[in-house]
Homo-oligomer: A and B are copies of this chain.
Amino acid sequence: MVYEKLFNPVSIAVIGASRDPSKIGSIILKNLRITYRGKIFPINKNADELQGVKAYKSVSMIKEPLDLAVIAVPANEVLNVLKECEKKRVAFANIISAGFKESDAAGIKLEAAIKTFLKSAKIKVIGPNSIGVINTNPSYNTSFIDPNLKPFEGKTALVSQSGSILSVIVDDATLGKIGFSKIICTGNEVNLNSSEVLKVLSEDAKTGTIVLYMETLENGEEFIDNAIEASKRKPVIILRGGKSKISLATTESIISSLIDENLGYRLAFKRAGVIPVKGIEEILSLMRDASDIRIKNDEIFVITNAESAGSLMIDALNAVGIKAAKLNNNIANELEKALPKECKIQNPLDLLGDATPERYKEALEIVSKLNKPIVVIVSPQKTFMPIETAKEISEIRLQNHDLPIFPLFLGGLRVEKAKRFLREHGLPDYSYPHEAAHIIKKLYEYSTFMPPTFNAYTKTKIKVNNLKLKENEFGLAAKEIIDRLGIRTVHGVAFRTESELQKAIKIIGYPCVLKLALRNTAHRGRLGGVITGIKTYEDLKKAMNSINTKAANEHLKVSCYELYMDAEKEKKSKLELLIGAHRDARFGAIMAVGLRAGRTDALYDTTFLLGPISDKDIADFKTSKIGRLIYKIAKARTFEEIIDYLLRISKFMDLNKEIKDIEINPVFISEDGAVAADFKLFK
C-alpha cells in the first residue's frame, strides 16, 4: 500500500530542526522524539546534534532510506529542500512552513512553483502551511501543537485545512476522552488534498469515522466520488468554513443569480452521504457515537420517569423530523401487565417518579421487542438510582446488540458516574433532549445512506452534444436547440417584412405573443419587447409600433420580430415554472425548478438538483414543496414530463461543456403537459 510509508514510516527527517526551543523546528523535533519509535534525522546546516540526536547538514548526507520528511524552513527555501528530498527518494513530505498563498503575492508565486515541480515528481506532499500529522498507532507526531496535549488512540481520523481548527478539535476531544486514529493538517493542499486523503482514510482499517474541516475544494466531482466510497464504509463528518466568502455569478442569467458556492457544497454533501455539521460542538458529539451506532428507523420510543422530560424529548425529535414510534397491542398489553396501573401506556412512556431500576429493566425488555431505537430518560425524581439504572440499561443493550439505545441522564453532578459507566460500556450519553435529537437525526440520515444510482439518467438520450455557441442565444435560435433537446416548446416564427408577418400569423394564429428579436435580453426587457395576449391584427400592429417607438427613442433599429403562440391561453396553464441549469465551477451542473408567483415572472421558490440527476434526486423532488405542488395541480403525466425535461437538461449540461447556463422560463404547466415559452442559453 502506497500510504504505508506515511502511516508507518521507518524513518523521519526534520528539515529545519532548530537549536532554539521556541522555534517550530525545535518543537516538532521534541514532539517526534516523544511519540516516535523509528529513526529520526534532524537536518540543520549548523548543528551536529540536536536534543541529543545526531543531526545532518542535508537529507543527501543520510545513507539510510527516508520515508517522511518534515519541512520547517523559510518559504523561499522549501522548493530546494523538496528537490533534495525527491533526489533522495523520500516518499512523503509534510511542509509545515507557512508564507505561501495564504499570505501574499510572493507566497502565491512560491506555491505555484512547488505545484509545478510536483507535477512530475514522485514525492507526495502534505501542506504547505500544515500544522503537521499525528498518527496514534504506530505513533508519531510531526506537529508543533503543545507537547502537553497528547491525543490518544481512537477511531476518528481528523483532516483539516486549518491548523487552528484542528488544534481546537484535538484539544476538546482529548479533554472529552475521545481518541483519534490519525490527525492530518492538509494546509494549502498543494499536492495531497482532502479528496485524496478521504479516499486513503476510507480504506484505513483503524479509522471508524472521518472528520473533515474544509474551506475550499478544487475538483468537486472527484470529491463526490471519493466521499461516496468513503460513506459506504464509515461516516464522513464535514464542517465547512468560509461560507460567508461567496463568489459572484458569472453570467446574466436569472438562474445563476440564485446559486452560490455554498449550494454546490450542500448538494454535493447530500449526494455523498456526508454528515454536514454547523459547528465544532456537533463534531465532538458525533465523534463519540458515529463509528458504532446505526439507526435505520426514524421512529423512536421514549421511556422516562418524568412526563415533561419525555415530552420535551418527543418535541425535540419531532422538530428534526423524527417520529414517535407507536406501540402495538401486544406490547401495550404486556406493558400494562408489568407496570403500575398509574402508568399511561403511551409514547413517551412515563414510568413515574418512583421508577426503580427494575421497572426500567422490565419496560425496556418489553419495548425492545418493538425493535425501534429507544431513548431512556433518567431524571432526578423521588426514586433516583442513576448507576443502578445505567447498569440495567447496559444489560439490555448487551442482549440486543443491534438495537440503538440512547440514555439521557439528567441531573448534573449526580449522574456523572452513571454517565461514565455508560460510556465505558459502549453506550452513548447525552445531556439534553435537543442535543440527543439532533445527533439521532444525523446518525439516522447517515445510517440510511444509499450510494446514488442513475438509472433514469442513463436511459435518457438526447441529440445535442458538444454545442458551440458564438454568443449567448435567445429566442428562436435557442428554441431550435431546446426543441432538439426534446423539450416541448410553443410554436414560433420570425418575421422581418409585412409579407413574412402575414405568413407568420397564418401559422401561429391568435392569441399570440410578439417578441423583439434582440440578442441582449436586458435591452428587450427595457424596450417592453415581449407583448402577450395579442388577439387581433390591430393589436399586433399596435404592439409593433409601441416597440418601434421605444427602440427609436434609444436610437436602436428593430429589424426582426418573433411571433409565438400564446401557450398560456391555449393550454389553460395552471402554473408557470422556470426550469434550467447553471454550471457550478466546482461541482458541475445544478438544475433548478423555480415557481413563478401568480401570473408574474417573480420567482417565489426554487428547488435545486445536482447533476447528473440521480434516482434519489428524482424521488426527493417528488416530495419537495414544488414537486408536490406540480404533482397535485398537473397530475402524474405532466409531472413525469418535467422530470424528463430535467434529465434531458442534466444530460445536455454534461454533453455540452461550453454551455454555462440554460434557462427555460416560463414553462406553462397544466394537466395537458409542460410547454416551454421562452428560452435562453448562456456560454
Q: Name 21 interchain pairs, CB-CB below 8 A, sorted by A.
A: A24-B382, A102-B307, A144-B382, A163-B306, A164-B380, A164-B381, A165-B306, A165-B308, A171-B411, A174-B412, A215-B311, A239-B312, A244-B311, A244-B315, A244-B318, A278-B319, A279-B316, A281-B432, A573-B598, A574-B599, A575-B598
A162, B308: Cβ atoms closer than 8 Å: yes
Contact residues in B for A598 (Cβ distance below 8 Å): 573-576, 595-596, 598-599, 633, 669
Query: Which chain B residues border A103 with CB–CB below 8 Å?
Result: 342
* A547 at the B interface (CB under 8 A): no
Tell me, in angstroms, the Cα distance from A314 to B574 when the chains sit together.
43
Which residue of B is nearest A309, CB measured? Answer: B164
Residues of B within 8 A of A175 (CB): 412-413
Q: Does A52 contact B (CB under 8 A)?
A: no
Tell whether, in the assembled complex, residue A379 and residue B167 are in contact, meaning their CB atoms are under 8 Å apart: yes
CB distance from A215 to the nearest CB of B (A): 7
Chain B residue at minimal CB-CB distance from A99: B342
For the complex, is A461 an interface residue (Cβ under 8 Å from B)?
Answer: no
Do the beta carbons of A241 and B315 come within 8 Å of each other? yes
**Given contact pairs A174-B412, A278-B316, A434-B279, A575 touches B599 in the complex (Cβ within 8 A):** yes
Residue in B314, B324, B342, B413 whose CB lies within 8 Å of A171 = B413
Interface status of A47 (Cβ within 8 A of chain B): no
Chain A residues in contact with chain B, CB under 8 A?
A: 24, 102-104, 144-146, 149, 161-165, 167-168, 171-172, 174-175, 213, 215, 239, 241-245, 278-282, 305-309, 311-312, 314-316, 318-319, 324, 342, 353, 379-382, 384, 410-414, 431-435, 573-576, 595-600, 602, 604-605, 625, 629, 632-633, 669
A552–B282 CA distance with the chains assembled, in angstroms: 64
How many subunits of this chain does the assembly comprise? 2
In the complex, are the beta carbons of B432 and A280 less than 8 A apart? yes
Known contacts A164-B379, A380-B164, A602-B632: A241-B312 contact under CB 8 Å: yes
* Chain B CB within 10 A, most for which of A307, A432, A576, A632: A432
The answer to whether A318 and B243 have CB atoms under 8 Å apart is yes
Given the complex of chains A and B, what is the CA–CA distance between A165 and B377 in angstroms?
12
Distance A574 CA – B598 CA, assembled complex (angstroms):
6
Q: Does the CB pair B242–A311 fall under 8 Å?
A: yes
- Across the interface, do B432 and A164 meet the contact criterion of CB distance under 8 Å? no
Partner of A306, one of B162, B412, B599, B632: B162
Partner of A602, one of B282, B599, B629: B629
**A311–B306 alpha-carbon span in the complex (Å):** 42
A412 pairs with B172, CB closer than 8 A? yes
